[in-house]
Structure 1
Amino acid sequence: MEVCSLGLVELISGLSDGNTLLLALILSTMAMLSTTLGGLPVALLRGRDSGRSFSMLVDIGLGFSSGVMFVASFTSLLIPAIEDFGLPLPISGLVTGALVIHGVNAIIPHEHLIKGYEGPAGALRKLRAAWLVALAVIIHNLPEGLSIGVATAFEVRDAITLGIAIAIQDAPEGLAVALPVYATTGSLRRAVLYAWLSGLSEVVLALPSAALASLSASLLPLAMGFGAGAMIYVVSHEALPETHRSGHENKATLSFFSGFILMLALDTMLG
């Protein structure tokens, strides 16, 4: 398995041919495709409301994604930045990333699957619920696209490890996006479209973040810390609390550790 994993790293590295923007495009496109494909299993549902089973699948998927994101924040971003640039700049970026996502979370109206509406009160009546859900997913995915872009400007192998990990965890995340849309509309096309849009947001942010981080080496420790802080904030404030609201805490926690262990294994095999 390790040989196959290393072969994948070499393949992606060869395709990018040392071009940072091309590598960011390849990795973020992998994540987008994984998110889209993750939404397809909703076709197996029968009816518009799968009740507790629907909620359980969402919690398990978000738990797994959270485990991968949490470890990746450290192994692919924060620890390499501290090892190469020292503590102050990466930690400054970490705090800034968390604060920025907190601000985005407060300003942009969005709808959580269980928690419900969050954002300015006046915007609730102006936006349809489906778009509120889509905005929530985009907020969740912003740190992932940002982190892919920043990592490509630092070290190719770490970036590919991170990109593969995000692509893996994006499959259950795509299902978590598509399930509520399908449950409320009964439209497979719309459910998969929303999953695709959530993945597309990663591509949109990965490219400019890669370009910006490539401009100056002095920006890298701040940018890597920023990406880590943004992802950790999403896991702590958004994803994990959402998995503990409907009685599936044990399954969500087991799923979290599954993602946690998988990311550690990937980092060991590919790093």
Structure 2
Amino acid sequence: MFLEADVLGRSLIFGLIPALGTSVGGLIGVLTPHSRESYMDFGLSFAAGLMLVASFTSLLIPSIELSNIYTALAGLVAGVVMILIIDKLTPHEHLEDRFEGPAKYRGRVKTLYLMVFALLIHNIPEGMAVGAGSALEFEKGLALSVAIAIQDVPEGFAVAYPLMGLTRSRFKALSLAVLSGFSETLASVLTGLVIEISQGLIPFILALAAGAMIYVVSDEVIPETHKYGHEDVATLGFVTGFVTMLFLDSLA
């Protein structure tokens, strides 16, 4: 089968799987009339736990095995710096109304667009991770893609539900949630394209994606799960996601 040999083809197919997960979560979000904040905290924490384990077991460890610790560390640091720069230079607003980016854009760009920018920043590392994983063994790449799709379901919900309140439109909220998912597909394909051009970059890109995901987990996801005071629920969700990813990784 061509997918077993074609990295770019796998990056596309694998990249569509998380987009589907985000879309399912978005659909649940727009169809839910009322929700408890603790549900969102659990879902996002679940995603954080899963992403953190995936960063190590599916990205960093393979990077070290394919090259050495120095290449992996260089990629890790580069990934953190890359998202840090994007985070600081791109005006965006988190779901809890926390503005970040150049101050000159505050109040001059619609809140909806600021939130969309935040979603794109959040999804870039996940798409990169899927694209980088497509260069690994077929089973491992598929397992990583499915794992990210699973954690994208609560993320899709967490995107669509507040956006529905902001836009007062189920169609707009769902459309933005779906588009945020397909941004992962685009990031996956672009990453796969880079790997196709130079196979020697695989270890570095694996670690780069890991660093980017770790930054997003620490800076974006975990703070959002503690904003309503449901720390116990958030911790339980984190551990559940952590264990789930370990289990999925053991099956690959």
TM range (shorter): over 0.9
TM-score normalised by structure 1 residue count = 0.89
Cross-structure match for 2:24? 37
Q: Which residue in the other structure is 2:188 paired with? A: 206
Provide the residue aligned with 2:198 in structure 1. 216
CA deviations 1:41-64 (Å, max 9, x no partner) are 234433xxx5xx453232222101
Which letter does structure 1 place at the counterpart of 2:32?
A: L
SS of 2:135's partner is helix
| Identity value in percent | 42
What's 2:227 paired with?
Answer: 245
Amino acid at match of 1:228: A
Q: How far apart, CA to CA, are the structure 2 residues paired with 1:135 and 1:180? A: 15
Q: Which of the numbers 110, 113, 119 marks the counterpart of 2:95?
A: 113
Q: Does 1:100 align with 2:82?
A: yes
Unaligned ranges ≥5, structure 1: 1-13
Relative distance call for 1:115 and 1:181 in structure 2 (3 A) is closer
| Alignment size in residue pairs | 252
- Tell me the secondary structure at the aligned position of residue 154 of structure 1: coil
Pairing partner for 2:209 from 220, 224, 227: 227
The correspondence for 2:120, drawn from 138, 146, 167, is 138
Paired residue for 1:164? Answer: 146
Q: Give ranges in structure 2 of 5+ residues lacking alignment.
A: none
Offset, 1:164: 0.8
Whole-angstrom CA distance in 2 between matches of 1:112 and 1:223: 27
Contact 2:59 2:210 in 1 (8 A): yes
Tell me if 1:66 matches 2:48. yes
Residues of 2 paired with 1:223 and 1:195: CA distance? 27
Q: 1:178 to 1:54 in 2, by over 3 A?
A: farther
Q: Is the 8 A contact 1:62 1:176 kept in 2?
A: yes
1:165-214, CA deviations, whole angstroms, 9 ceiling, x for partnerless residues? 01111111100100111122331111111111110111111111111123
* Deviations 1:60-91, CA, capped at 9 Å, x for gaps: 22101111110011111100111221100011
Does the Cα contact within 8 Å between 1:35 and 1:167 map onto a contact in 2?
yes
2: CA distance, partners of 1:42 / 1:164:
20
1:257 aligned onto 2:208: no
State the alpha-carbon separation in 2 of the partners of residues 43 and 239 from structure 1. Answer: 21
What's the CA shift for 1:17?
4.3
Q: Distance in 2 between matches of 1:144 and 1:206?
A: 8
CA distance in 2 between partners of 1:212 and 1:225 (Å): 14
Counterpart of 2:229 in 1: which secondary structure?
coil
Indicate if the aligned counterparts of 2:132 and 2:188 stay in contact, CA closer than 8 A. yes
Letter aligned with residue 23 of structure 1: R
**CA RMSD, aligned part only?**
1.5
Asked whether the 8 Å contact 1:152–1:159 carries over to 2, the reply is: yes
Which SS does the other structure have where 1:66 is aligned? helix
Q: TM-score, normalised by structure 2?
A: 0.95
- Report deviation, 1:27: 1.0
Contact map agreement 2:29 2:158 (CA 8 A) in 1 = no
> Partners of 1:25 and 1:235 in 2: how far apart?
24
